[in-house]
Structure 1
């Protein structure tokens, strides 16, 4: 089989990549211009009757295009929402069809680049699509398989995302290592522990599955970090946890959790939510806070808010303080956020991730001190607090930087070559 007919596809919660082999080397195919990553976002443009993807989707939305923004759809795999329909303008679309549009676009762009049809694919998947629910996990993989078939792939296999990242790490190994692969993506955190040596790779290139000692994962990722930061530092300005007229009663929190969750934002734009908030405003002690929330939803600017929170998280990786400007809701409105605020909002989730890594170490029957290398991939490994908390569990390990957004795609391309050629 020609190299170019098979590929590795990393469909991520926040960003996606597609990798293939060219002249014996795993490479990522440019998806937008020369950018090899594409944000996992779609914008249905009601004015142009077109669909925009990736950065183009986000930019069209931010420029005020009339339409519907959708992002982080991977997070609904394995949940009941996946079987539902959603309104896009006047048309009801199944969520599976929306995911299919995005994967079809990635496939078509790659094929246009290489001039050949891609028929065989190894798709990345988290260790657990849904925590502690094997049935839902199987259903999520089956859904992804069906979508991949619908967009034209004839042979479809899956690989755990941290195992794919481990394949990329193996290319960098210069001595025997017991390595911890940390992959913190947009929706999940996944971990692999493996033993590898350069001699093994020379004799059995790309095939050291028997050296993988443990895989674990948890459904926590970058979009969760964004949500927790938003709830702690921004949503109180819109009435989150504000008092109602009745003593001891607070504003219901469900609206705010949905507004801080990418894949649920669009559900807040319906008439039912609008009516409920108008009623609650009458019962609120600080109705002006509810006025802000109502205006935000009337303007359908929930995704703009989520993008601003995400950017604030990134900014706080380099700065001690930042201001999130909310003048699109109310003139002069802003939220001051410090790195200490970010750390406080991430503490609980980071501790849960650490417990999952501890489970991996126990499964592998190795101590944290025995790990000689830690390989970091995924955008959230760039957040200093998360990075330091996790690498502190393996004090003797050298830290190796993987491609934050590309290591999984590279590893999947290597795995596709191993399986199909």
Structure 2
């Protein structure tokens, strides 16, 4: 049997697995799938899978008229102590079990490629799962470890995701560099300051080269939430007024709309009590048509399709100055012209948080800008023009590099086989 190791980047939006041949010291291939799970409304027959993972999950969900349970951004529930389990098709799933479904799908595809079962993996994790909160971080790490076990891995090591990205970048170097790595994903933005040297590639001990790591719980999903709040929620009745008592007019609670701006909070609407409250607001608003859109969104599980349109707008604004946020389904009609300047304004609060954290990170670790030879940006969110602008304005005289924004981390994790050596 071949000596194989998997480098696994379990991401908020996409997940990747690189297959590493430990004898040849090379990556054979990398598999990339969306971090999505769809549970059809009707359970599968006994003995067959009752869920679909990855790119086919989207197609199946849309073909079924967006019924059943569609789950995305699962990574974000790992650190949530408030999430214990959810019931789907009369079966209970906790956080580890849901994550395991994605890891198992990656493992199955990789095992088929190599023709054998591999149970050894280096799995990436953000520097902080939920900002600098030790108890939440420990909970998330424990859950991710259990997910790996449930997926069939019995030899597991964990590596910070930006360190994985750094080792992938190191493969492209011809000389030693002091590098600031920024990994901007769907859920988090992580930084690592590392000394990279092509002559050290494959060395067992790299501890002294890893100077500092840190992260903040802001990523592409934060941008999408901000956009939904600004551009989407008015179409779902954010400004709806209702007559609480005769002559007393109030605006419906803003909290309702905060919960449609974050995918993991959509389950807030599952309870009978909140559904009854929403129906009451609708009645006392005089059947406001925009508030009716909120009821339609919830009752027909349309959240994902709305966020698909937001994602499309974000991607278009990464390559052009104007886009149109459009959505039309079940009498919900949205059409909003957006230019890059307005989009930058919408996400500015999150951008400033990233910028502030980056400055703190450098100061806390006594890293002088003059000591940084190059920047390496990875992750899908690094493609957002405002992010590029942020780094270029902060470091005007430092070259900004990037690799494959969706597979760099997985490849670097695969190069981290030294973690299995004694002393780690």
> TM-score, normalization: structure 2?
0.90
> Is structure 2 residue 82 aligned with structure 1 residue 87?
no
**Residue aligning to 2:310:** 309
**Residue aligning to 2:400:** 399
**Residue aligning to 2:331:** 330
Aligned residues: 411
Return the alpha-carbon distance in structure 1 between the equivalents of residues 337 and 279 of structure 2.
Answer: 28
Asked if structure 1 preserves the Cα contact closer than 8 Å seen for 2:78 and 2:95, the reply is no
**Residue aligning to 2:227:** 229
Return the alpha-carbon distance in structure 2 between the equivalents of residues 329 and 374 of structure 1.
Answer: 46
**Residue aligning to 1:7:** 6
Q: What is the DSSP-based 3-state SS (H/G/I as helix, E as strand, rest coil) of the residue aligned with 1:337?
A: strand
**Residue aligning to 1:363:** 364
**Residue aligning to 1:275:** 276
What displacement does 1:248 show? 8.0
Q: What is the DSSP-based 3-state SS (H/G/I as helix, E as strand, rest coil) of the residue aligned with 2:329?
A: coil
**Residue aligning to 2:15:** 16
Q: Which runs of 5+ in 1 are unaligned?
A: 30-35
What displacement does 1:377 show? 0.4
Asked if structure 2 preserves the Cα contact closer than 8 Å seen for 1:120 and 1:420, the reply is no
Q: What is the DSSP-based 3-state SS (H/G/I as helix, E as strand, rest coil) of the residue aligned with 1:87?
A: strand
**Residue aligning to 2:41:** 46
- Equivalent residue runs for 1:371-390 within 5 Å: 371-390=372-391
Return the alpha-carbon distance in structure 2 between the equivalents of residues 215 and 248 of structure 1.
Answer: 51
Return the alpha-carbon distance in structure 2 between the equivalents of residues 194 and 66 of structure 1.
Answer: 47
Asked if structure 2 preserves the Cα contact closer than 8 Å seen for 1:103 and 1:148, the reply is yes
Q: Summarize deviations over 1:59-106 as a string: whole Å, max 9, x none.
A: 221232532100101101121234x22121333332322222221121
What displacement does 1:125 show? 0.5
Q: Summarize deviations over 1:364-421 as a string: whole Å, max 9, x none.
A: 3222243221111000100001111123222221111111011110011000355359
Asked if structure 1 preserves the Cα contact closer than 8 Å seen for 2:13 and 2:35, the reply is yes
* Shift in alpha-carbon separation, 1:281–1:416, aligned structure 2, 3 A: same
Superposed CA RMSD in Å reads: 2.2
* Shift in alpha-carbon separation, 1:207–1:249, aligned structure 2, 3 A: farther
Asked if structure 2 preserves the Cα contact closer than 8 Å seen for 1:214 and 1:361, the reply is no
* Shift in alpha-carbon separation, 1:267–1:55, aligned structure 2, 3 A: farther
What displacement does 1:286 show? 7.8
Q: Summarize deviations over 1:202-223 as a string: whole Å, max 9, x none.
A: 6x64643312221110011111
**Residue aligning to 2:251:** 250
What displacement does 1:254 show? 2.5
> Is structure 2 residue 216 aligned with structure 1 residue 218?
yes
What displacement does 1:135 show? 1.5
Q: What is the DSSP-based 3-state SS (H/G/I as helix, E as strand, rest coil) of the residue aligned with 1:342?
A: helix
Return the alpha-carbon distance in structure 2 between the equivalents of residues 310 and 113 of structure 1.
Answer: 31
> TM-score, normalization: structure 1?
0.91
Return the alpha-carbon distance in structure 2 between the equivalents of residues 369 and 242 of structure 1.
Answer: 53
Q: What is the DSSP-based 3-state SS (H/G/I as helix, E as strand, rest coil) of the residue aligned with 2:182?
A: strand
Q: Which runs of 5+ in 2 are unaligned?
A: 45-49
What displacement does 1:132 show? 2.2
**Residue aligning to 1:32:** none
Return the alpha-carbon distance in structure 2 between the equivalents of residues 342 and 286 of structure 1.
Answer: 32
